[in-house]
Amino acid sequence: MSEHHGRKGASWLSLSVDLVAGIFLFLAGVAGLIATWSLPTGTVARMGAGFWPQAVSLLLCMFGVGIAALSFTRKGELFELPPLRPYAAVFGAMVLFGLLFERIGMIPTVIVTMLVAGLASIETRWVQLSILAVVLAILSAVAFVRLLGLPLPVFWWR
């Protein structure tokens, strides 16, 4: 499955996908409860701001337990972590976009984002990508700022 990227994903602990899924849901429900703990719950008749989210969070926990329990009754696939680099590259590109866009403007940000995203794939050809990045950056600036008149920063001084 992941030969393309070398070592197999870590199948430590031999957890089945269903089990991890159940745990995830349970944790999500707990997170919901924690986040809305401080909100007034009120009663069924006069619901406070917290009633609905808390009820839903509880429900989610129950689903988590249910799915996790079911995972023991049948043989499911094992959970594997995917290789890190593509995820890091794509998420890194998005983070950079968020940090840079308002600071250095559209054209440099687009270029940087595309190049960092390029790190995700081993098939990236850097010259091609760089050219595409510059072209797209300029086209976007022309289309959004010039033609549509949106108040977006194009460089860091405008």
The interface with another protein within residues 98-127 (CB under 8 A) comprises: 98-99, 101-102, 106-108, 110-115, 117-127
- How far apart, in whole angstroms, are the C-alpha atoms of residue 74 and residue 111? 48
Nearest in space to 80 (alpha carbons), one of 3, 6, 14: 14
For the bound state, the minimum distance from the C-beta of residue 80 to another protein, rounded and expressed in Å, comes to 8
The residues in 2-31 that bind another protein, with binding defined as CB under 8 A, are: 2-7, 17, 20-21, 24-25, 28-29
Q: How far apart are CA 83 and CA 7, in angstroms?
A: 8
Identified binder of another protein from the candidate list 8, 10, 11, 49, rule CB under 8 A: 49
Nearest-approach distance from CB 157 to another protein, in angstroms = 5
Cβ burial, residue 139 (10 Å; 0-12/13-18/19+): exposed
145 binds another protein (CB under 8 A): no
Q: Which of 10, 11, 87, 142 binds another protein (CB under 8 A)?
A: 87
Binds another protein by CB under 8 A, chosen from 68, 71, 133, 145: 133
CA distance 54 to 21: 21
CB 82, CB 6: distance < 8 Å? no
